[in-house]
Amino acid sequence: GTTITISSNHWVMAWAGLEINTLAILPMISKSHHPRAIEAATKYFLTQATASALVLFSSMTNAWHTGQWDITQLTHPMSCLILTSAIAMKLGLVPFHFWFPEVLQGSPLTTGLLLSTMMKFPPMTLLFMTSPSLNSTLLVYMALLSAALGGWMGLNQTQIRKILAFSSISHLGWMAIIITYNPKLTLLNFYLYALMTTAVFLTLNSIKASKLSTLMTAWTKTPSLNAMLLLTLLSLA
């Protein structure tokens, strides 16, 4: 799904890749059969389906007015507006961010890692390819809100996965601010973010920590790993 999306020129192909991606991650979220996991999967599915429908709708509107199905030829202002909102919903930018902490909280750590890094990659590439035609005012507003709210709402959490979700929202805010001015810088930022987040998630997975209280007592078990985790968290911050 990711490969189809990042290598496509036609909007319908990009949409198909996004859909395959969504359907592929759903069993991974709900594999524990816990009610919370099922709820997370349902929330994820509904949000992503809406966002994909909006992507398709914006490209159809553009094709209707200009006759172009090419991803880089998005010129109609209404289409640009809808597409900016759709990708923001896919990524989890404020004000479409409510699903992300919930979904991350309901899924296991390895799936959470995929959700925070791999599943953000296709929408990021779409943003990269359409960056000249995006509605920059809307994007900058959403990005500023994301950067502020991500940092602010992560403060009063005790669940590590929720904190990481809000960290992801605020990082996405910074990436979305840069994308209209320097897309390559955004991609670099995204790669670095993915690398750090992978390190954090894998460390947490190996010490089986999901709450802050378990993290506080984890240094007795694995002192060296905990020191490395501290450094990774500092570089992520």
The whole-model pTM stands at 0.93
For residue 99, what pLDDT band results from cuts at 50, 70 and 90? Answer: very high
Instruction: Give domain limits for the chain.
Output: 1-236
On average, the pLDDT of the chain sits at 95
* φ, ψ of residue 221 in degrees (nearest 5): -75, -50
Q: What per-residue confidence (pLDDT) applies to 219?
A: 84
- Has residue 216 got a pLDDT over 90? no
User: Which contacts qualify for 110-116: CB closer than 8 Å, 24 or more apart?
Assistant: 110/201, 110/205, 111/25, 111/28, 111/29, 111/31, 112/161, 112/164, 112/201, 113/197, 113/198, 113/201, 113/202, 113/205, 114/25, 114/28, 115/25, 115/29, 115/44, 116/164, 116/165, 116/168, 116/197, 116/201
Q: What per-residue confidence (pLDDT) applies to 221?
A: 86
Distance CA 217, CA 232 (A): 18
